[in-house]
Amino acid sequence: MGRKFVVGGNWKMNGNKSQICDIVSFLKTGPLNPETEVIVGVPAIFLDYVRVNLPENIAIAAQNCYKVAKGAFTGEISPDMIKDVGVNWVILGHSERRQIFGETDELIAEKIAHALESGLKVIACIGETLQEREAGKTEEVVFRQTQAIACKIKDWTNVVVAYEPVWAIGTGKTASPQQAQEVHRALRQWFCDHVNASVGESIRIQYGGSVTAANCKELAAQPDIDGFLVGGASLKPEFVNIINAKQ
Protein backbone atom coordinates (compact mmCIF):
# COMPACT_ATOMS: atom_id res chain seq x y z
CA MET A 1 0.00 0.00 0.00
CA GLY A 2 1.31 3.45 -0.91
CA ARG A 3 1.87 6.32 1.48
CA LYS A 4 -1.28 8.35 2.07
CA PHE A 5 -0.96 11.95 0.86
CA VAL A 6 -1.18 14.34 3.82
CA VAL A 7 -1.71 18.10 3.64
CA GLY A 8 -1.31 20.32 6.69
CA GLY A 9 -2.39 23.92 6.97
CA ASN A 10 -0.44 25.88 9.59
CA TRP A 11 -2.43 28.98 10.50
CA LYS A 12 0.44 30.30 12.65
CA MET A 13 -0.53 33.36 14.76
CA ASN A 14 -3.44 34.32 12.55
CA GLY A 15 -7.19 34.34 12.75
CA ASN A 16 -10.12 35.21 14.96
CA LYS A 17 -13.50 33.53 15.33
CA SER A 18 -14.94 35.37 12.34
CA GLN A 19 -12.02 34.42 10.08
CA ILE A 20 -12.12 30.86 11.37
CA CYS A 21 -15.78 30.63 10.35
CA ASP A 22 -14.78 31.65 6.82
CA ILE A 23 -12.06 28.97 6.71
CA VAL A 24 -14.43 26.32 8.06
CA SER A 25 -16.96 27.34 5.41
CA PHE A 26 -14.65 26.84 2.43
CA LEU A 27 -13.32 23.58 3.87
CA LYS A 28 -16.87 22.28 4.31
CA THR A 29 -17.77 23.38 0.78
CA GLY A 30 -14.65 21.74 -0.70
CA PRO A 31 -14.96 19.27 -2.21
CA LEU A 32 -11.88 17.66 -0.65
CA ASN A 33 -10.17 14.59 -2.06
CA PRO A 34 -11.21 11.83 0.36
CA GLU A 35 -7.92 10.03 -0.29
CA THR A 36 -5.92 12.92 1.20
CA GLU A 37 -5.44 13.32 4.95
CA VAL A 38 -6.01 16.93 6.00
CA ILE A 39 -4.74 18.56 9.20
CA VAL A 40 -5.00 22.21 10.25
CA GLY A 41 -2.61 23.74 12.78
CA VAL A 42 -4.58 26.08 15.02
CA PRO A 43 -3.54 28.69 17.61
CA ALA A 44 -3.89 27.14 21.06
CA ILE A 45 -6.60 29.52 22.20
CA PHE A 46 -8.89 28.37 19.36
CA LEU A 47 -8.27 24.60 19.45
CA ASP A 48 -11.52 23.78 21.23
CA TYR A 49 -13.56 26.20 19.08
CA VAL A 50 -12.22 24.77 15.84
CA ARG A 51 -12.74 21.17 16.97
CA VAL A 52 -16.41 21.90 17.60
CA ASN A 53 -16.93 23.60 14.24
CA LEU A 54 -14.72 21.70 11.81
CA PRO A 55 -15.95 18.52 10.09
CA GLU A 56 -14.65 15.27 11.55
CA ASN A 57 -12.81 14.38 8.33
CA ILE A 58 -10.32 17.19 9.00
CA ALA A 59 -7.84 16.68 11.83
CA ILE A 60 -6.58 19.46 14.06
CA ALA A 61 -3.06 20.09 15.32
CA ALA A 62 -1.72 22.31 18.04
CA GLN A 63 1.23 24.41 16.87
CA ASN A 64 3.46 23.62 19.85
CA CYS A 65 3.62 21.81 23.17
CA TYR A 66 6.17 21.34 25.93
CA LYS A 67 8.28 18.30 26.82
CA VAL A 68 6.66 17.47 30.16
CA ALA A 69 3.11 16.77 31.32
CA LYS A 70 2.63 19.68 33.73
CA GLY A 71 4.42 22.16 35.96
CA ALA A 72 5.60 25.74 36.39
CA PHE A 73 6.02 26.56 32.70
CA THR A 74 4.05 29.74 32.17
CA GLY A 75 2.57 30.09 28.71
CA GLU A 76 3.21 26.49 27.65
CA ILE A 77 0.69 23.75 26.94
CA SER A 78 1.10 20.00 27.39
CA PRO A 79 0.13 17.07 25.16
CA ASP A 80 -2.44 16.03 27.76
CA MET A 81 -4.11 19.44 27.54
CA ILE A 82 -4.22 19.15 23.75
CA LYS A 83 -5.78 15.70 23.95
CA ASP A 84 -8.28 16.89 26.56
CA VAL A 85 -9.92 19.21 24.00
CA GLY A 86 -10.17 16.43 21.42
CA VAL A 87 -7.09 17.27 19.35
CA ASN A 88 -4.70 14.49 18.26
CA TRP A 89 -1.85 16.21 16.41
CA VAL A 90 0.89 18.71 17.17
CA ILE A 91 3.40 20.55 14.95
CA LEU A 92 6.90 20.61 16.47
CA GLY A 93 10.25 21.94 15.32
CA HIS A 94 8.86 24.54 12.92
CA SER A 95 11.54 26.85 11.59
CA GLU A 96 9.95 29.79 13.40
CA ARG A 97 10.32 27.94 16.70
CA ARG A 98 13.95 27.24 15.83
CA GLN A 99 14.86 30.64 14.35
CA ILE A 100 12.78 33.08 16.43
CA PHE A 101 12.44 31.27 19.75
CA GLY A 102 15.81 29.55 19.76
CA GLU A 103 14.62 25.97 20.13
CA THR A 104 17.49 23.53 19.76
CA ASP A 105 17.55 20.19 17.96
CA GLU A 106 17.69 18.45 21.35
CA LEU A 107 14.73 20.33 22.85
CA ILE A 108 12.62 19.69 19.76
CA ALA A 109 13.50 15.99 19.89
CA GLU A 110 12.53 15.84 23.57
CA LYS A 111 9.22 17.54 22.82
CA ILE A 112 8.52 15.12 19.97
CA ALA A 113 9.32 12.13 22.16
CA HIS A 114 7.02 13.31 24.96
CA ALA A 115 4.19 14.13 22.56
CA LEU A 116 4.37 10.65 21.04
CA GLU A 117 4.55 8.99 24.46
CA SER A 118 1.45 10.97 25.44
CA GLY A 119 -0.51 9.68 22.44
CA LEU A 120 -0.29 12.60 20.04
CA LYS A 121 0.69 12.34 16.41
CA VAL A 122 3.47 14.70 15.34
CA ILE A 123 4.36 16.77 12.31
CA ALA A 124 8.12 17.08 12.85
CA CYS A 125 9.66 19.99 10.93
CA ILE A 126 13.20 20.18 9.60
CA GLY A 127 14.91 22.45 7.08
CA GLU A 128 17.85 24.65 6.20
CA THR A 129 18.32 28.42 5.98
CA LEU A 130 19.37 30.26 2.83
CA GLN A 131 22.91 30.60 4.14
CA GLU A 132 23.10 26.86 4.80
CA ARG A 133 21.77 26.03 1.35
CA GLU A 134 24.19 28.40 -0.37
CA ALA A 135 27.03 26.82 1.62
CA GLY A 136 26.03 23.39 0.31
CA LYS A 137 24.97 22.20 3.76
CA THR A 138 21.33 21.26 3.08
CA GLU A 139 21.77 17.53 3.65
CA GLU A 140 24.12 18.05 6.60
CA VAL A 141 21.54 20.23 8.35
CA VAL A 142 18.43 18.15 7.71
CA PHE A 143 20.25 14.91 8.58
CA ARG A 144 21.49 16.45 11.85
CA GLN A 145 17.99 17.61 12.77
CA THR A 146 16.51 14.21 11.92
CA GLN A 147 19.24 12.34 13.81
CA ALA A 148 18.41 14.32 16.97
CA ILE A 149 14.84 13.03 16.75
CA ALA A 150 15.99 9.48 15.98
CA CYS A 151 18.07 9.51 19.17
CA LYS A 152 14.91 10.06 21.24
CA ILE A 153 12.28 7.89 19.54
CA LYS A 154 12.09 4.34 18.22
CA ASP A 155 8.60 4.20 16.70
CA TRP A 156 7.98 6.51 13.72
CA THR A 157 4.43 5.27 13.03
CA ASN A 158 2.77 8.48 14.24
CA VAL A 159 5.32 10.91 12.80
CA VAL A 160 5.03 12.91 9.58
CA VAL A 161 8.24 14.71 8.63
CA ALA A 162 7.86 18.16 7.08
CA TYR A 163 10.85 19.37 5.08
CA GLU A 164 10.64 23.15 4.99
CA PRO A 165 13.48 25.07 3.37
CA VAL A 166 13.50 28.18 5.55
CA TRP A 167 14.51 30.38 2.62
CA ALA A 168 11.28 29.46 0.82
CA ILE A 169 8.83 30.21 3.65
CA GLY A 170 6.81 33.38 3.27
CA THR A 171 9.25 34.74 0.70
CA GLY A 172 7.38 33.77 -2.44
CA LYS A 173 10.42 31.72 -3.41
CA THR A 174 10.06 28.00 -3.73
CA ALA A 175 12.38 25.16 -4.44
CA SER A 176 11.78 23.72 -7.88
CA PRO A 177 9.96 20.38 -7.84
CA GLN A 178 13.28 18.78 -8.74
CA GLN A 179 15.13 20.50 -5.87
CA ALA A 180 12.42 19.50 -3.41
CA GLN A 181 12.38 15.92 -4.68
CA GLU A 182 16.16 15.70 -4.34
CA VAL A 183 16.03 16.51 -0.63
CA HIS A 184 13.02 14.26 -0.03
CA ARG A 185 14.77 11.36 -1.76
CA ALA A 186 17.92 11.95 0.33
CA LEU A 187 15.86 12.00 3.52
CA ARG A 188 14.11 8.77 2.61
CA GLN A 189 17.48 7.15 1.97
CA TRP A 190 18.73 8.48 5.32
CA PHE A 191 15.87 6.69 7.06
CA CYS A 192 16.67 3.49 5.19
CA ASP A 193 20.34 3.74 6.20
CA HIS A 194 20.01 5.00 9.78
CA VAL A 195 16.65 3.70 11.03
CA ASN A 196 15.49 0.85 8.80
CA ALA A 197 14.22 0.17 5.30
CA SER A 198 10.63 -0.25 6.46
CA VAL A 199 10.54 3.22 8.02
CA GLY A 200 12.34 4.62 4.98
CA GLU A 201 9.62 3.31 2.72
CA SER A 202 6.64 4.17 4.91
CA ILE A 203 7.56 7.54 6.47
CA ARG A 204 5.56 10.39 4.96
CA ILE A 205 7.61 13.48 4.08
CA GLN A 206 5.76 16.72 3.42
CA TYR A 207 7.15 19.69 1.53
CA GLY A 208 6.73 23.01 3.31
CA GLY A 209 8.14 25.82 1.21
CA SER A 210 5.65 28.33 -0.25
CA VAL A 211 3.27 25.81 -1.76
CA THR A 212 0.51 27.45 -3.79
CA ALA A 213 -2.40 26.40 -6.00
CA ALA A 214 -0.15 27.18 -8.97
CA ASN A 215 2.74 24.85 -8.12
CA CYS A 216 1.11 22.17 -5.94
CA LYS A 217 0.30 19.65 -8.66
CA GLU A 218 3.82 19.54 -10.05
CA LEU A 219 5.23 19.16 -6.55
CA ALA A 220 2.69 16.46 -5.68
CA ALA A 221 3.76 14.47 -8.74
CA GLN A 222 7.25 13.91 -7.32
CA PRO A 223 7.68 10.33 -6.07
CA ASP A 224 9.05 11.16 -2.61
CA ILE A 225 6.82 14.15 -1.80
CA ASP A 226 3.94 12.81 0.29
CA GLY A 227 2.09 16.03 0.98
CA PHE A 228 2.49 19.63 2.04
CA LEU A 229 2.71 21.78 5.14
CA VAL A 230 1.18 25.06 4.00
CA GLY A 231 1.34 28.42 5.76
CA GLY A 232 -0.51 31.52 4.53
CA ALA A 233 -2.26 29.73 1.69
CA SER A 234 -4.14 27.59 4.23
CA LEU A 235 -6.07 30.68 5.31
CA LYS A 236 -7.47 31.15 1.79
CA PRO A 237 -9.91 29.21 -0.41
CA GLU A 238 -6.99 28.10 -2.62
CA PHE A 239 -6.13 25.68 0.18
CA VAL A 240 -8.83 23.41 -1.25
CA ASN A 241 -6.89 23.24 -4.54
CA ILE A 242 -3.72 22.36 -2.65
CA ILE A 243 -5.51 19.60 -0.74
CA ASN A 244 -6.65 18.22 -4.09
CA ALA A 245 -3.20 18.40 -5.73
CA LYS A 246 -2.80 14.63 -5.75
CA GLN A 247 -5.32 13.09 -8.12
pLDDT at 172 over 70: no
Classify 167 as helix, strand or coil: helix
| CB neighbour class for 33 (10 Å; exposed up to 12, middle 13-18, buried from 19) | middle
Selected catalytic residue, list 37, 96, 110, 164: 164
Q: Average pLDDT, whole number, for the chain?
A: 95
pLDDT at 197 over 60: yes
**pLDDT value of residue 1:** 55
Q: What is the pTM of this model?
A: 0.96
Selected catalytic residue, list 37, 94, 96, 110: 94
**pLDDT value of residue 89:** 98
Task: Delineate the domains of the chain, giving CATH numbers in brackets.
Answer: 6-243 (3.20.20.70)
pLDDT at 36 over 80: yes
Q: Average the pLDDT over 141-158 and give the result.
A: 98
Smallest CA-to-CA distance from 161 within 174, 149, 175 is with: 149
**pLDDT value of residue 139:** 96
**pLDDT value of residue 181:** 96
Q: Model confidence at 169, in pLDDT bands (50, 70, 90)?
A: confident
Q: Please say if 194 is a catalytic residue.
A: no
- pLDDT for 46-58, tens place per residue? 999 999 999 999 9
- pLDDT for 113-143, tens place per residue? 999 999 999 999 999 998 898 899 999 999 9
CA angle 225, 91, 46 (to 5 degrees): 125
Element (H, E) at 37: strand 37-42
Q: How far apart are CA 31 and CA 73, in angstroms?
A: 41
